[in-house]
Amino acid sequence: MAAPESLLVEHPTEDIVVFRINRPLVRNALNLEVRVRLADEITRCGADSKVRCVIVAGSDVAFAAGADIGEMAEAGPVEVMSRNVQKYWRAIMDCPKPVIAAVEGFALGGGLELALCADIIVAGEGAKLGLPEVKVGILPGGGGTQKLARLVGRQRAMMLIMTGRMFGADEALRMGVISELAPTGQALERAIEIAREIAAMPPISIMQIKEIVNAGVNAPLDTALMLERKAFQLQFATRDQKEGMRAFMEKRKPKFEGQ
């Protein structure tokens, strides 16, 4: 019998793609195969004009309970460096389309780092998050130390990373780690609702919003405001801007085409 697909691809609508990690025997631990395929598929979606939004999900038990320890336990530093798994997360972060993470169950270590690559994180109320790498003799290596510190502040990040403790979805919401709470078991359903809402918006505006927020968040304010100003001006070269404002004045629903 053939092994089950480790990454399932679903299309709730023509313009929304869901990638569901499917390694239930190891709580969706992230092996190299899943990392490569996820990066390749999301890169492809970024270049597909028909795709408006991407969702990454796991199961009700685990979004992803960390990296696959079996792949790295006996590795040396040169092997780890040459494997360079961080490049696969970069591919997800660089996707020009909005990426939503739908988190249920465990999102630990590399699983939380994967979720933090998304633009929006929806977590079920029962989700458990954390960066427990220190407990196995390493530290977060997929962006966890830097992203968490930027989200929750240096002092709180130090405590969470140095102890490796898990924290619940409600605490994650209060700290600003996730975007929204959903009832347990409904994170993916809520993520699809948000994706539908975003997919109805003008694609060029959405892409520009993602680009300038990501580029500007760590830039000097004057630089960030300049990026915003230039992006705002660019919108007036699009047909969608004309359609949106005409529809507003004509009191009808706009139809955005990404042009």
Distance CA 62, CA 158 (A): 25
Locate 19 and state its tokens: 């990638």
Q: State which amino acid sits at residue 245.
A: M
The residues pairing with 209 across neighbouring beta strands, listed in sequence order, are: none
Distance between CA 155 and CA 205 in Å, rounded? Answer: 36
CA 73 vs. chain centroid, Å, equals 27
Judge contact between 12 and 192, C-beta under 8 A: yes
Structure tokens at 242: 């004309």
Question: Pseudo-torsion of CA 11, 17, 23, 28, nearest 10°?
Answer: -140
Going by C-alpha positions, the residue among 58, 41, 39, 50 that lies closest to residue 14 is: 50
Neighbours of 64 (CB within 10 A): 31
> Within 13 Å and on the Cβ side, how many CA atoms surround 11?
7
What residues are labeled active site?
Answer: 67, 110, 113, 133
Largest CA distance in the chain: 66
Contact 50, 184 (CB under 8 A): no
Q: Packing angle between helix 154-163 and helix 144-152, nearest 10 degrees?
A: 140
